[in-house]
Each structure stands twice: as structure tokens, then as C-alpha cells.
Structure 1
Amino acid sequence: MPDTTQQRPYHHGNLRTELLDAAERSLRVRGAEQLSLRDLARDIGVSHAAPRRHFADRRALLDALAESGFLRLGAKLRAAVDEIEDEDDLPTRLHAFASAYVRFATENAALAGLMNSSKHRPGATAVAEAATAAFGQISDLIEEGQARGELQGSDPEGIGLVLYATVLGIASMLNSGMIEPGRLDELVDTAVTQFLRGARPPEPR
């Protein structure tokens, strides 16, 4: 029987986007270790050589997928915060930010895992920049709160890291089955409330 894979087209519409979509589906089902450019080419019906026009190797594809994930996450976080009409309502904006993150991380568990494992990998500059842009929004919110005297401290990035670590832990516990999905809103609400309580300036005596 002839090898029909050799007859597949080299080009296939927006190949880069289709490869990333196929890679995310594969990641969700089989995990990062089982992802291969050859299998993805077969899945979307192009020649084995076609993906290398966009991704030099499997690692480059995974990095691009992680970068794309952070860009999507950043957009969702921004949209969630922007929905709050009162720009001075820090508690509600932080709740919206935290809730949007946990929902993204639990609805896209495999992708979130790849994103977190990729952002500090040496050479993954684009991934790191996309991650910084996404999570930099929380530093901006905290800096605004500090400027209004609602939060104490002088390191918005460090303070934001505390809240990020908390919601990351909630998402990880939800994804591992340690926490029931129905407790998501309750836990996010508690986490942000406790964070704000600890970060507020002490009451004058």
C-alpha cells in the first residue's frame, strides 16, 4: 500500500494556529511527554515536514503553546478586572482577578501545568515575557491600593506574589481532586478576604 502521508499537502491554511490547537488537544488527553510534531501533522492532515516551518522542534512548539496560554490568561484577567466599573473598588477587583485565574487554571489544567513549568526554563524568553505581562496586572492593582493607602508595604510585586501563590495552591488542589470543584468560589473569596485583611495598614491607635 502506498504511503499516503507523502501525498499530504505541505501548507494547510493557518498552519501555526492549527498546530497549536491540535497540540493543546493532545496535551489535554495525552500530556506533554507524548506530544510530537509528527503525530500533530498527521492529525491535521499535512506532511511531516510542514510543522517545521513554524516550530524547529517539539520544545519550540511547547514553548509557543505556553506563551499562547499566558496571552489568553492575561486577556481573561484583564477582562475580569475591567468588568468592575468602580476602579477604586480594590476588594472586588482582586476577587475578580483571583477568580478568573483559578477558573482558567482549572478549566485548562494541562495547559496551566505546562505554562508554569515553562516560564522559568532557560531560553524561554517569550514565555517569561507573556507570563510577566499576565501577572503584572496584580502588581498594578496592589500598587493602586497602596497609593490610596488601602494596602501597606512598598513592594507590590512581592505582595502580589503572596496572593498568586495562594490562588495557585487552590487551583492545584482543585485539579488534583483534593478539593471539590463546588468550593472554588468559597475558597477564592476566603483567600482574597484574608489577604486583604493581612495587607491593610494597621488601624491608628
Structure 2
Amino acid sequence: MSERSYHHGNLRSALLDRAGNVIESDGVEELSLRQLARDVGVSHGASARHFRDKHALLDALAVEGFHRLNAELAAAASSAGSFADRFRAVGMAYVEFAVAQPALLGLMYRAKHHPQASAELVGASGVGMRGLVALFEQGQESGDLREGSADEDALVAFAAVHGVATLATDDLLDGVPWRDAAERTIDFVWRGLMGG
């Protein structure tokens, strides 16, 4: 390990952090491994030891994004309150993540569908949905949700919440604050889940 890499502590993390900043401010197209290396003060060769090419960097960035999103969703699902409160917290956590990091979220979903997506990325991308299905199964077991297919209900809930997140990040809410739109969407889905 060179003195420069050691100075940065964890070069891989420094490169990922800087890459995340670049895609949020300038877009994925502007991301360059050479420029990232310059930005964090190392040679291109040093950065290439961690990421062989731009695809590997984007894959790793998407994996990190899913890990962060999954942690936020899991924390919301296990928060205090009623089942309805936890359901709403999960939905809002997803939309808040999307609004805070729209370029990263877009990259995450594009990267997971890339033919060369790593097994780690594919695995990480499914954790949130599995957690939502598990939450719905818990709600059915406790009697807080009607009986039915937890898989189907989770998919519909995800589609609605992801939809409002996309509208918010694409500035297509016609002046409605994203938080209001998200809360209304989540409440609408909740009423549907309770309606049988």
C-alpha cells in the first residue's frame, strides 16, 4: 500500500464517496476513473487496483447504495409504533432516500439489470423487497393486514411508492410537495391493503 493510499485510510471508500458526489452533481456520464483518482489525490494506477473499469466502479457504487437503502428500510420496519406506523415509515424512508439521492437510485436500478451485474449487486438489490414481504407476512400473522398474497401486496405497495418517488425526483408533481404526495400515496395504499 502506498503512502498516499494509506493517507486516505480507505482508498476504495474515498473513491466511492467521490463517485457518489459526482453522479449526483454531474451525472453518471461525467464520471471518470482518472478524474476520481485526481480528485482524491492518487494515481490512476492506485484507483485501478480497486476498480478495473468504470463498470466495476458503478457496480460497487450500486451495491453500496442498496446496502444503505436496505439498512434505512430495515430500521424503519423495526421502528416503534403500530404496524401501520411502521408501514408508513418504510414507505417514507424509500421516498426520502430517492429524493436525497436520485441519481444514485437510478444508477442502482440500471446497474442491477446490466448483463454483467455482480452476484453481490443482484443479491443486495432483492433485500429490500424480501424485507417488505416479511413485513407484510408479520402484519398478516398479527391480524393487522388482511389475508392474501404478501408477495403480491408488497409488489403493489412498492410500485406505488417507487412511482411517487420517481415523480418527485423527476419534478413531475405539479407543485405538490413531495412529502405530501408520498404521504397521500402511502395512505392510499394502506387503505387498499385494509379494504380487502
- Shared fold (TM-score, shorter chain, > 0.5): yes
Hey, what does 1:5 align to over in structure 2? Answer: none
Aligned pairs for 1:1-205 (under 5 A) are 9=4, 12-84=8-80, 86=81, 89-124=82-117, 125-149=119-143, 150-154=145-149, 156-179=150-173, 183-200=177-194, 202=196
| Offset at residue 10 of structure 1 (A) | 6.0
Output the TM-score relative to the length of structure 2.
0.88
Any idea what SS the aligned residue of 2:177 has? helix
CA contact (8 A) 1:78 1:137 kept: yes
Shift of 1:120: 2.1
Q: Which runs of 5+ in 2 are unaligned?
A: none
Contact 2:77 2:135 in 1 (8 A): no
How many aligned positions are there? 191
Report the CA distance shift for 1:104/1:72 in structure 2 as closer, same or farther (over 3 A): same
TM-fit CA distance, 1:76: 1.1
SS in 1 for 2:67: helix
Equivalent position SS for 1:200: helix
Residue type matched to 1:152 in 2? Answer: E
User: Percent identical across equivalent pairs?
Assistant: 39
Q: Kindly provide the amino acid, as one letter, of the partner of residue 40 in structure 1.
A: L
CA-CA distance at 1:185 after TM superposition: 3.0
Per the TM alignment, residue 56 of structure 1 is displaced from its structure 2 partner at its CA by 1.2
Q: For residues 186 and 89 of structure 2, what CA distance do their matches in structure 1 show?
A: 10
- What is the DSSP-based 3-state SS (H/G/I as helix, E as strand, rest coil) of the residue aligned with 1:93? helix
